[in-house]
């Protein structure tokens, strides 16, 4: 039986541990001595191979779902510098787009004059403002809102 198992393993290109014999037809298996005999038994499905053991994705999928919600992103989970996690350029693009959209909205609603809008736009371009909230604060402190 060891010989048949070894031959079947070499034919099916797998480990001998994965080879399974049909218990009802052991006499036929014992008679098979050559590779050709074993091939015939494989075709008749008297000798089969168990499926390879896979790796479950359940845990990793669960973790992915948690990360989508914003969990598991604390200091202990971080590897790499901030620039590796979120690119400096990408973060700048996001902030400047938000600021420019806000400025455009207040200009269209005529809450500021076009001259003020242009001055604020240039300041935003120069990186003067940290965020949209900072622009609002600047407008109120310098009394630039139209009334």
Tokens of 89: 């350029």
Cα–Cα distance measured from residue 129 to residue 136, given in angstroms and rounded to the nearest whole number: 10
Task: Give the per-residue pLDDT at 44.
Answer: 94
Q: Give Dmax (Cα) for the chain.
A: 102
> Is residue 147 scored above 90 in pLDDT?
no
CA gap 31, 27 in Å, rounded: 6
Report whether 132 contacts 120 (CB < 8 A). no
Q: Which domains does the chain have, with CATH numbers?
A: 2-49 (1.10.1650.10), 84-141 (1.10.1200.60)
Q: 5 with 16: CB under 8 angstroms? A: yes
What residues contact residue 110 under an 8 Å CB cut-off, 6+ apart? 146
Please write the tens of the pLDDT for every residue from 40-56.
999 999 999 999 999 99
Whole-angstrom Cα Rg for the chain:
35
- Condensed to tens digits (0 to 9), the pLDDT of residues 76-134 reads 999 999 899 889 999 999 999 999 999 999 999 999 999 999 999 999 999 999 999 99
pLDDT tier, 39 (very low <50, low <70, confident <90, very high otherwise): very high
* pTM listed for this prediction: 0.54
* Mean predicted confidence (pLDDT) in 26-50: 94
Selected residue with higher pLDDT from 97 and 147: 97
């Amino acid at each position: 039986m060891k010989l048949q198992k070894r031959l079947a393993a070499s034919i099916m290109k797998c480990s001998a541990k994965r080879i399974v014999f049909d218990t009802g037809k052991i006499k036929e298996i014992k008679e098979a001595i050559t590779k050709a005999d074993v091939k015939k038994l494989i075709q008749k499905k008297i000798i089969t191979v168990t499926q390879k053991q896979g790796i479950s994705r359940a845990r990793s999928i669960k973790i992915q779902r948690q990360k989508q919600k914003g969990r598991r992103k604390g200091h202990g989970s971080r590897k790499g510098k901030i620039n590796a996690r979120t690119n400096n350029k990408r973060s700048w693009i996001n902030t400047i787009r938000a600021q420019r959209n806000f400025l455009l909205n207040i200009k269209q609603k005529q809450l500021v004059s076009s001259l003020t809008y242009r001055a604020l736009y240039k300041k935003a371009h120069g990186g003067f403002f940290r965020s949209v909230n900072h622009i609002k604060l600047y407008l109120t402190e310098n009394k630039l809102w139209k009334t």
